[in-house]
Amino acid sequence: MIPYFNNITEVILAFVPFQEATKVVQPLMLGGLIRYFVPGSGVTKFDAYMMALGLSLCAMMLAVSHHPYFYGVQRIGMRLRIAACGLIYKKVIKSTPPPPLPSERIFHS
């Protein structure tokens, strides 16, 4: 079980830098693209095209990397929740006495 969790964790941690870098670079690209439309800004048409290409690549990269990352995090959370519920269930079963048999209920009531 431990090696499996380590494998998922490594995959998830591999996506985090790409997502964060994309979230930082995307507004910078958008600012450069908007600056192209300001008269006298000095941004060339080629630079505007490159900013638009970079913005599109950032959007695609974020869409492609977010879903496996989010799926992995949800999967680990679900497994931890199931494990915790199992531990609580075992604890409750061990701490409560077994219920009386139906014949014993008749005599004790």
Q: 40: Cβ–Cβ under 8 A, 6 or more apart, which residues?
A: none
Are 65 and 22 spatial neighbours (Cβ–Cβ below 8 Å)? yes
Q: What pLDDT is recorded for position 93?
A: 81
Tens digits of residue pLDDT in 15-44: 778 888 888 999 999 999 999 999 988 899
- pLDDT, mean over the chain: 82
Q: What pLDDT is recorded for position 1?
A: 45
Domains in the chain: how many in total?
Answer: 1
Closest CA to 36 of 19, 54, 24, 59: 54
- Please give the residue range of the domain that contains residue 82: 2-108
Task: Work out the average pLDDT over 59-85.
Answer: 86
Percent residues over pLDDT 70 in the chain:
80
Kindly tell me if the per-residue pLDDT of 108 is higher than 80. Answer: no
